[in-house]
C-alpha cells in the first residue's frame, strides 16, 4: 500500500503540534490513507520538538527533525523532502491554515495519476488591511517578475516521489519551493482551498521579513531584475540622445544652452540609476558567492527515533 508523508515545517509552534498532529492524523485515517507526519522543527526554542518526541514515543507515524538553529521555512521544507519516506509527499503549515481535508482531495488526485497537486488559495484568511496591502504589493511585483501568480499559490502541495527526487537533485542552496514545483513541470493539477485562521500562536512574518523574502526569492528564481538594469540603461541612453540633439539644434539656432539645473538633475538621475543597478548586480554576485561556498541548507541537531 502506498504511503503519504506529510511534511510540517514548525517554528516555535508548541501550542499547535498536538492538535495539528491529531487533526491531520484522524483526517487521513478516516480517508483510509496510510501516512506518516514529519515535523521539521526549524530551530524552535520552545517545546516544539519535545512535544514531537512525546508523540513519537506512542505513535511511530509521528516523526520529527530538529534544526540546530532557525534556517527558515524553505530549508525546513527541503529537509522534509530529504527525510520523507512516502510514495507521495505533501507540505502543510503547522497552524492549520491549510485545511487537512484538502490533503484527502490531493491524495485522490495523486491516485488518479497526477504528479504535482498545487494548493491554490481561493481567499486569504483574516489579516490586517496593512498586512494585506504589503503582501499585495510584494506579490504583485514578484508575480510579474516570475510570471507565476504569487497571491494564490502556496507551499501547500502534494507531490509524487519522482517530483521530490527531481527537486532534491537541484544543486542550488537558495531555493524557492513554491515556484520550483511549477518549474519542474510534470503532470500537474490544482485544488483550491480557503485559508483558515491560524489556530494558535502568532505568524512569524514581519515587514522586514517580507522584504527579505521578496528580494531573496526573486533573485534566487529569476534574473529579471538584471534585465531591468539593462532596460534602464537603454532608456537613459535614449534620453541623453534626445537631449544632445536638442542642445545641438539650440546651438545652431543661436540660443545659448543654459542648463546648470539640468546638469545637476541629470547627475542625480544617472547617479541614482547607477547605484540601483550596482545594487542589483551586487545582490546577484552575493548569491553566487553563497552558492559557491556550498554550505549546507540546514544543520540537523536531533531526529526522533524510528522503528
Ligand atoms: N515556519 C518555519 N520557519 C520559519 C518561519 C515559519 O518553519 O522561520 C513555519 C511555521 O511554523 C508555519 C509555517 O512555516 O508552520 C507558516 O508560517 P506562518 O504561519 O508564521 O506564516 P503565514 O501563515 O503567516 O504566512
Ligand atoms: Mg500561518
Q: Whose CA is nearest to atom 18 of ligand 1?
A: 203
Q: Distance between CA 213 and CA 11 in Å, rounded?
A: 16
Which residues' Cβ are closer than 6 Å to ligand 1? 9-11, 13, 42, 70, 72-73, 76, 93-95, 97, 203-205
pLDDT tens, 193-236? 888 777 777 776 677 777 777 777 777 777 777 778 778 877 88
C-alpha distances (whole Å) from 135 to each of 57, 131, 157, 183 are: 40, 6, 21, 23
Q: For a pLDDT cut of 90, what percent of the chain falls above it?
A: 30
pLDDT of 126: 63
Q: What confidence score (pLDDT) does residue 7 get?
A: 95
Alpha carbon nearest to ligand 1 atom 8, residue? 72
If residue 205 lies in a helix (H) or strand (E), which one and from where to where? none
Please write the tens of the pLDDT for every residue from 149-184.
766 778 899 999 999 999 998 888 878 888 787 778
Cβ neighbours of residue 147 under 8 Å, at least 6 residues apart? none
With a cut of 50, list the residues of the chain below it in pLDDT: none
Burial of 116 (0-12, 13-18, 19+ CB in 10 A): buried
pTM for the model? 0.73
Amino acid at each position: 500500500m502506498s504511503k503519504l508523508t506529510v511534511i510540517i515545517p514548525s517554528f516555535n509552534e508548541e501550542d499547535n503540534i498536538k492538535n495539528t498532529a491529531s487533526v491531520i492524523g484522524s483526517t487521513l485515517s478516516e480517508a483510509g490513507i496510510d501516512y506518516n507526519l514529519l515535523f521539521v522543527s526549524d530551530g524552535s526554542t520552545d517545546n516544539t520538538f519535545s512535544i514531537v518526541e512525546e508523540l513519537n514515543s506512542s505513535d511511530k507515524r509521528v516523526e520529527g527533525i530538529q534544526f540546530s538553529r532557525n534556517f527558515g521555512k524553505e530549508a525546513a521544507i527541503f529537509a522534509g523532502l530529504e527525510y520523507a519516506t512516502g510514495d507521495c509527499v505533501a507540505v502543510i503549515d503547522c497552524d492549520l491554515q491549510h485545511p487537512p481535508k484538502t490533503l484527502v482531495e490531493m491524495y485522490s488526485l495523486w491516485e488518479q495519476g497526477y504528479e504535482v497537486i498545487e494548493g491554490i488559495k481561493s481567499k486569504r484568511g483574516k489579516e490586517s488591511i496593512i498586512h494585506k496591502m504589503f503582501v499585495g504589493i510584494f506579490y504583485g511585483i514578484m508575480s510579474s517578475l516570475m510570471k507565476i501568480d504569487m497571491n494564490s499559490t502556496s507551499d501547500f502541495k502534494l507531490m509524487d516521489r519522482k517530483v521530490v527526487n527531481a527537486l532534491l537533485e537541484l544543486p542550488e542552496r537558495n531555493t524557492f519551493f513554491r515556484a520550483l514545483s511549477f518549474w519542474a513541470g510534470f503532470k500537474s493539477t490544482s485544488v483550491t482551498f480557503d485559508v483558515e485562521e491560524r489556530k494558535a500562536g502568532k505568524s512569524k512574518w514581519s515587514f522586514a521579513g517580507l522584504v527579505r523574502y521578496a528580494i531573496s526569492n526573486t533573485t534566487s528564481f529569476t534574473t529579471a531584475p538584471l534585465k531591468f538594469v539593462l532596460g534602464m540603461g537603454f532608456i537613459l541612453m535614449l534620453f541623453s540622445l534626445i537631449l544632445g540633439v536638442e542642445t545641438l539644434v539650440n546651438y545652431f539656432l543661436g540660443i545659448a544652452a543654459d542648463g546648470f539645473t539640468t546638469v545637476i538633475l541629470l547627475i542625480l538621475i544617472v547617479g541614482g540609476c547607477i547605484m540601483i543597478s550596482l545594487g542589483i548586480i551586487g545582490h546577484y554576485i552575493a548569491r553566487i558567492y553563497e552558492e559557491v561556498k556550498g554550505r549546507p541548507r540546514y544543520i540537523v541537531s536531533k531526529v526522533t527515533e524510528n522503528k
